[in-house]
Amino acid sequence: MMNWANVEDFGVLLQRYRKRAQLSQKTLADLSTVSVRAVRNLELGRVAAPRRETVRLLADVLQLSTHERLSFELSAGGEVDEALFETLVLPISVLARPLLGRARELESLVRQLLDEQQRITVLSGFPGVGKTHLAVAAAGSVAATRSVPVLWVQLQEDFDRGPLQTAISDLLAGEGTGVGRLARQIGDRATLLVLDGNDDGRVRRETVWTLIRECPRLSVLETGRVPHGVSDHHRFLVSPLPTRRTGTAQVPATHPAALDFLLRRLADLRPGFQAGEGALRKLAEICVRLDGLPSALESAASWATVISIDELLTMAREEPEALAGHPAMRTDPVAAAQGVLGRQTPVIQDLALRLAGRSEGWTVDQVVRQSGLPRAEAALALQSLLHAGLIVEVPSKPGGPVRFTLLNLVRAAMRGRPPLAPRLALRAC
């Protein structure tokens, strides 16, 4: 069992829940068989360690939810066991909007999570690409398919995690006996643990492997900007939504997924919105210039409530970072790109800087010829940039070499930055 005293002041919680229930101190005392004086002293914080039975009686009368009851018990310095497991289970209703343009990724990810040999999967990709949204959809599918409980742990501190999420994330990020307690709590039951936002490796890889070893039926799904300390077969790259039309002689071309996403958001924000052929072409270009990033497209749709499609296109051409970073949105794409790039080695940073001007893309062989790097080192550098979501594959002819290019928003973030390593100077084509 786990114990976190003073997660939130017990007296504050007691008063909040009592007032919500529209009970006076005397009425609460009468219904719970706790004295009025005890209720008053508890609310004033005069009782250092409330008795467990008192806490239980008060919680029963206040009709607290599982989550609220656990917060109540933790704030009183109590111990909880099974309630913790139940509280961290992901509610399927978290998926507020349908997942658009990710059918293949969702199918592949769910298949991995259901594979008993694949105990850990790390989703990586550029900030705002939709890692959490995909993880929620996959976790919900696993829970529905196998009746597997999902323990969802939010690790990003800029989210309102609440006292319980904060406590469990601190436990996983710490050292000592806490992880062993969690492992015993999970035991041998089939469980999916989701570590959302492990961007800086706050939960160490050793901690995850300890849980995997001690919980034989546990699977772990982790999201982060860069995959930390796992081999390729544990990585799952989440790429931006496609921005180009696809089709064959048998299957006619359809709108690219990025354009479908943008149109859906525009319809949500502007009821009755319709786009003619001209507007569709402009919106398709906006999708390309915003790299098909869902968060950037969300921002563009928000801008579209106050400016025209033509003005949107001008912004996309001249200042894509402004269009992608609407003040109401959480993600600042330029700061995000700078942060992810800053985690790369100096050689990789310099390579990205020097390739920024090549919008037509480049192959591994071209990077080798133009950088002077050994082929293996060049390939590893590109792989690191790819898994960080800083570069994407460029569509090429069937049978042609694989080409990559930097995201437009990454280029915007690197404007004005000088090269770091003169030895990587690229020769002109």
In a domain, 250, yes or no: no
Does the global pTM surpass 0.85?
A: no
The answer for residues whose C-beta is within 8 angstroms of residue 45's C-beta and 6 or more apart is 9, 10, 11
Specify the pLDDT at position 354. 81
Give the residue-averaged pLDDT of 372-382. Answer: 91
Amino acid at 140: G
99 and 210 in a common domain: yes
Its domain, for residue 97, covers: 92-237
Q: Do 164 and 127 share a structural domain?
A: yes
**What value does the mean pLDDT take over residues 384-401?**
87
pLDDT tens by residue, 184-233: 778 898 999 999 989 888 888 888 998 999 999 999 999 998 887 777 77
Q: Which of 80, 100, 120 is the last residue of a domain?
A: 80
Whether the pLDDT of residue 251 is over 50: the answer is no
**Residue among 417, 412, 416 nearest 316 (CA):** 412
Looking at residue 176, its pLDDT comes to: 54
So what's the pLDDT on residue 178? Answer: 61
Task: Find how far residue 198's CA is from the centre of its chain.
Answer: 8
pLDDT score of 3: 44
Report yes or no on 203 lying in a domain: yes
Condensed to tens digits (0 to 9), the pLDDT of residues 298-357 reads 999 999 999 999 999 999 999 999 999 876 666 678 888 888 888 889 989 988 888 887
Q: Do 261 and 308 share a structural domain?
A: yes
- pLDDT category at 161 given cuts 50, 70, 90 is low
Judgement on whether residues 219 and 141 belong to the same structural domain of the protein: yes
Q: Is residue 34 within 8 Å of residue 40, measured between CB atoms? A: no
**pLDDT above 50 (res 247):** no
What pLDDT is stored for residue 317 in this prediction? 94
Same domain, 75 and 21: yes
What does the alpha-carbon distance between residue 320 and residue 316 come to, in Å, rounded to a whole number?
4
Examine the fold and report which residue of 80, 104, 125 is the final residue of a domain before the chain moves on.
Answer: 80
The last residue of a domain, from among 26, 58, 80: 80
Q: State the CATH number of the domain containing residue 185.
A: 3.40.50.300
Instruction: Average the pLDDT over 259-280 and give the result.
Output: 91
pLDDT at 272 over 90: no
Say whether pLDDT at 1 is over 50. no
Confidence of residue 371 (pLDDT cuts 50, 70, 90): confident
What CATH number does residue 29 fall under? 1.10.260.40
Q: Mind listing the pLDDT tens digit for each residue in 86-145?
A: 656 655 445 556 888 999 999 999 999 999 888 999 999 999 999 999 999 999 899 888
How many Å apart are CA 25 and CA 46, to the nearest integer? 15
Number of domains in the chain: 4
Do 347 and 227 have their domain in common? no
In DSSP notation, 229-275 reads S--GGGEEE-PPPP-S-B--SSS--B--HHHHHHHHHHHHHSTT---
210 and 139 in a single domain? The answer is yes
Answer whether residue 314 is part of any domain: yes
Query: Per-residue pLDDT for 250 more than 60?
Result: no
Of the ranges 62-66, 142-146, 157-161, 418-422, the best mean pLDDT one = 142-146
pLDDT of residue 248: 45
429 falls within a domain: no
Together in a domain, 167 and 136: yes
Pick the more confident residue, 276 or 159. Answer: 276
pLDDT of residue 57: 93
Please say whether the beta carbons of 213 and 257 come within 8 A: no
Same-domain pairing of 202 and 121 = yes
pLDDT at 65: 76
Residue whose C-alpha is closest to residue 132's, from 222, 192, 226, 262: 222
- How many C-beta atoms surround the C-beta of residue 274 within 10 A? 9
In this structure, the answer to whether residues 405 and 280 fall within a common structural domain is no
Instruction: Quote the pLDDT of residue 185.
Output: 75
Percent of the chain with pLDDT over 70: 80
- Strand, helix or coil at 55? helix
Would you say residue 309 lies in a domain?
A: yes
In the predicted model, is pLDDT for residue 13 greater than 70?
Answer: yes
Residue 387 forms part of a structural domain: yes
Confirm if 164 and 75 have CB atoms less than 8 A apart.
no
87 domain residue, yes or no:
no
d(CA 19, CA 31): 15
Say which residue, 153 or 69, is predicted with more confidence. Answer: 153
Q: CATH code at 373?
A: 1.10.10.10
pLDDT band at 165 (very low <50, low <70, confident <90, very high): low
User: What's the rounded mean pLDDT across residues 266-285?
Assistant: 91
- Smallest Cα–Cα separation from 241: which of 291, 287, 292? 292
Residue 244 lies in a domain: no
Residue 423: is its pLDDT beyond 50? no
Burial track 204-215 (b if 16+ CB lie within 10 A, e otherwise): beebbeebbebb
Beta pairing partners, 89? 151
pLDDT at 300: 95
Instruction: Judge whether residue 249 has pLDDT over 70.
Output: no
Residue 38 pLDDT exceeds 90: yes
More confident call, 415 vs 314: 314
Q: What residues form DSSP beta bridges with 222?
A: 122, 195
Pair 419, 377 in one domain? yes
Say whether both 71 and 193 belong to one domain. no
Averaged confidence pLDDT in the chain = 83
pLDDT value, residue 86: 60
